[in-house]
Amino acid sequence: MKEKLYIIKIGGALIDDEEALDQFLNKFSNISGKRILVHGGGKLTSTLAEKLHVPQQMVDGRRVTDAQTLDIATMVYAGKINKSIVAKLQNLDCDAMGFTGADANLIQAEKRSVEEIDFGFVGDVNRKSVNSKLIRKFLKLDLIPVFSAITHDHHGDLLNTNADSIASVLAQALSKKFDVELLFCFDKDGVLEDVNDNSTLIEALSEDDVLKLKEEKKIHKGILPKIENALLAKKNGVQKIFLINETKLQEHIIYDNQGTEIC
């Protein structure tokens, strides 16, 4: 029987709210067993870029990462945010260690090819990108890896990488040795037919359901990357995948019934 492993991804809205982040990490610290935390960035990258007079370009909610923006993102994601989360977890007696993909070659990405849009220093990953053997060694030592959304290309360049994608490929790679449960935590109760109405929660979602909802234009584009990465993980051996409200982490761990389950 495989050992249980939770891979939990948190986003920028939570990171921007220090009180909410503290409450979340307190719940995270109470989870028994193996855990990995993956985090994105918050508004700090845009705020710092504005202070430094570095123009920012967004395309469909995705950041175009030029050389200056990569420097800022690295400082914010891999520096300020990552180490603050690690310090908070140490305060909660969790022996956490912060990583980028470049550390010990844990996640190697490929720079995104230029098609209609040149996203610059943005990296794409898949399950073969992950150095799962070394991550398993960290987990065996009862360390809690905390991954920022920075990877590398093995040619000396860092790359800005979608944190949902990082969580998904980690889950896929580690599902061979662990009973992985992948949780995407954000500020909604799950996938909603009406993004402003929690009573429209969709409790279970398959690929066919997603196609239908997209045709009916009932899926908010902001949640699509999470859904797409969740479906990809499901196809590649991840046993349980949920999109849940970050405030209901503890309830989900206990009762296993929060949010939207990917079927």
* Residue numbering of the annotated binding site: 41-42, 63, 160
Q: Residue with structure tokens 């994601």?
A: 77
User: β-strands 96-99, 144-147: how paired?
Assistant: parallel
Looking at the chain, list the stretches that DSSP marks H as alpha helix, in order from N- to C-terminal side. 12-15, 18-29, 44-51, 67-73, 82-91, 132-140, 163-174, 207-215, 224-235, 249-255
Write the burial class of residue 215 (CB in 10 Å: 0-12 exposed, 13-18 middle, 19+ buried): exposed
Question: Can you spell out the DSSP letters for 13-59?
Answer: HHHT-HHHHHHHHHHHHT--SEEEEEE---THHHHHHHHTT---EEE
Annotated binding residues for substrate, written as ranges, equal 41-42, 63, 160
Q: Residue with structure tokens 């797409």?
A: 228
